[in-house]
């Protein structure tokens, strides 16, 4: 039997345990790829670029600890460029070409909705770090941002009970998150006795820049003698001219307070905050939270980014929580195989940065505290309200017909994202991802 040159090389490699023959393969097997799916250009880059950076920091830190399961983590960064169809294309690339073990990404609900069927088809894992409208629970998505009862509802309660607000402007960007959130808020306000004529709803496109007419309408609506507030689901860089116009027209927080769900420290860093002092934001974390865990996180972040002026914000904390949950679940499962990790994630608890522990619930949402803060001149928030404990997310709104009878529970044997408690059936009552 003759081997020839190639055969002798194979035999020699075999004798050496293939070590000399497959360095690339060995390298691939020694790393675990993590997808980062955030807009680094376009209208949402103002918010999402920081989330890419914090993921790189978390991955670097974990690698210093030895990685996961004895393997180093390798970030795979893509830029879907605030283009919703491109999100789906980039998600497919991460899952089918790069074979990532998990993906951390998206900001807007329209981007999440775009990638959802891709993750479900490929059985991937997505950690979604931003507050959203609820009305969804997917086996393949872990929602580390707030559901409406963990942000929007408490914010309205605060304004109603503490500020005496009677008239409501629901102002949002024209896409699924603001529209669905405002649908829930409108139903909630009416359940509290607010009349239809005391609710003004307005939508503007992404990147909207001419706010003069709309702010004039808000001022007029607030001149009836009833205390008025703006509940803002305006997203992305449209916030800059919106707040600027409020200042131009002299709309002060003492007259018509604005409570925002998409404006945090990162967005305020690009604004002249003097006219905004006293306006509000509702989140589950503020950079100004005073505890050792948060101080350590801020210090690591500013050292990593090499800028002691860079701020932290709520979606960054959501990625911090989600990433640590994924690490813990992988170690618990002993594998990165998606189904095993998905099962292992339920019940995992990790420290948050507000001083407690957040837990992944069977509906694939986490427990969160709610904080309401007033904007200060330095672009930070003074916390004026905090829930006494952590809230469990309502993935389906109790205020909407077709949703109020639904629950999600991804534990076996139920394994359902929209179980109807009245009919006893999965998939009944509303369209949902399963």
Q: What is the pLDDT of residue 29?
A: 65
3-state secondary structure of 300: helix
CA distance 313 to 268: 11
Q: Domain residues of the chain, as ranges?
A: 149-283, 401-434
Residue 121 to residues 68, 96, 110, 214, Cα–Cα distance (Å): 26, 11, 18, 42
pLDDT of residue 236: 82
Instruction: Give yes or no for a contact between 313 and 51, defined as CB atoms under 8 angstroms apart.
Output: no
Tell me the two tokens of residue 159.
């304004």
Pairing of strands 141-143, 102-105: unpaired
Rounded to 10°, the helix 314-333/45-64 angle is: 40
Contact 82, 41 (CB under 8 A): yes
C-alpha 294: how far from chain center: 19
CA distances from 176 to 19, 220, 335, 366 (A): 53, 27, 35, 21
CATH of 149-283, one of 3.60.10.10, 3.40.50.10680, 3.20.20.10, 3.40.50.2300: 3.40.50.2300
CA–CA distance, 30 with 117 (Å, rounded to integer): 30
| pLDDT, tens only, 127-174 | 999 999 999 999 999 999 999 999 999 999 999 999 999 999 999 999
| Predicted pLDDT at 237 | 83
Neighbours of 299 (CB within 10 A): 11
What was the pLDDT predicted at 89? 98
CA distance 310 to 126: 27
CA pair distance 104, 51, nearest whole angstrom: 9
pLDDT at 11: 37
Q: How far is CA 44 from the centre of its chain?
A: 13
| CA distances (Å), origin 316, targets 113, 170, 232 | 21, 26, 21
Q: Which residues pair with residue 382 across a beta bridge?
A: 374
SS3 content of the chain, % helix, strand, coil (to 5): 40, 20, 40
Phi, psi of 127 (to 5 degrees): -100, 120
Q: Note the pTM of the prediction, 2 decimals.
A: 0.88
Span 367-423, pLDDT tens digits: 999 999 999 999 999 999 999 999 999 999 999 998 999 999 999 999 999 999 999
Written as one string, the DSSP assignment of 23-60 is HHHHHHHTEEEEEEE--SSSTTHHHHHHHHHHHHHHHH
**Which pLDDT score is estimated for 3?**
32
Q: Is the Cα torsion angle 53, 54, 59, 64 positive or negative in sign?
A: positive
Q: How far apart are CA 315 and CA 262, in angstroms?
A: 10
Low-confidence ranges of the chain (pLDDT < 70): 1-29, 428-434
């Amino acid at each position: 039997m003759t081997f020839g040159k190639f055969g002798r090389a194979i035999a020699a490699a075999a004798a050496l345990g293939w070590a000399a023959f497959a360095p690339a393969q060995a390298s691939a097997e020694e790393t675990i790829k993590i997808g980062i799916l955030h807009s680094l250009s376009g209208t949402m880059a103002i918010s999402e670029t920081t989330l890419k950076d914090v993921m790189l920091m978390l991955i670097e830190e974990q690698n210093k600890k030895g990685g996961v399961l004895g393997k180093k983590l390798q970030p795979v960064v893509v830029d879907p460029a605030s283009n919703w169809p491109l999100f789906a294309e980039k998600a497919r690339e991460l899952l089918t070409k790069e074979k990532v073990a998990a993906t951390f990404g998206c900001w807007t609900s329209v981007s999440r909705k775009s990638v959802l069927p891709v993750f479900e088809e490929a059985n991937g894992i997505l950690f979604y770090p931003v507050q959203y409208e609820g009305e969804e629970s997917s086996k393949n998505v872990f929602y580390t941002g707030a559901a409406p009862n963990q942000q929007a509802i408490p914010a309205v309660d605060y304004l109603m009970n503490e500020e005496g607000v009677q008239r409501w402007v629901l102002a949002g960007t024209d896409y699924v998150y603001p529209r669905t959130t405002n649908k829930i808020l409108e139903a909630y306000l009416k359940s509290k006795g607010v009349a239809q004529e005391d609710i003004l709803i307005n939508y503007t496109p992404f990147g909207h820049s001419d706010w003069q007419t709309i702010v004039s309408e808000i001022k007029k609506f607030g001149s009836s003698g009833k205390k008025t507030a703006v509940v803002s689901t305006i997203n992305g860089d449209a916030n800059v001219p919106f707040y600027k116009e409020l200042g131009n027209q002299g709309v002060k927080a003492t007259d018509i307070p604005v409570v925002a769900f998409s404006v945090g420290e990162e967005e305020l860093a690009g604004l002249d905050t003097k006219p905004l002092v006293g306006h509000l934001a509702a989140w589950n974390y503020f950079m100004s939270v005073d505890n050792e865990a948060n101080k350590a996180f801020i210090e690591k972040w500013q050292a990593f980014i090499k800028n002691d002026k860079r701020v932290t914000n709520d979606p960054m904390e959501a990625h911090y929580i989600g990433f640590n949950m994924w690490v813990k679940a992988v170690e618990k499962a002993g594998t990165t195989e998606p189904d095993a990790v998905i099962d292992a994630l339920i019940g995992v608890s990790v420290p948050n940065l507000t001083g407690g522990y957040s837990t992944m619930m069977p509906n694939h949402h986490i427990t969160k505290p709610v904080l309401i803060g007033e904007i200060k001149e330095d672009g930070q928030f003074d916390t004026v309200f905090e829930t006494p404990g952590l809230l469990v997310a309502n993935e389906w709104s109790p205020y909407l017909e077709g949703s109020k009878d639904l629950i999600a529970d991804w534990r076996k044997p139920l394994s359902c994202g929209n179980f109807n408690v009245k009919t006893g059936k999965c998939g009944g009552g509303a369209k949902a991802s399963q």
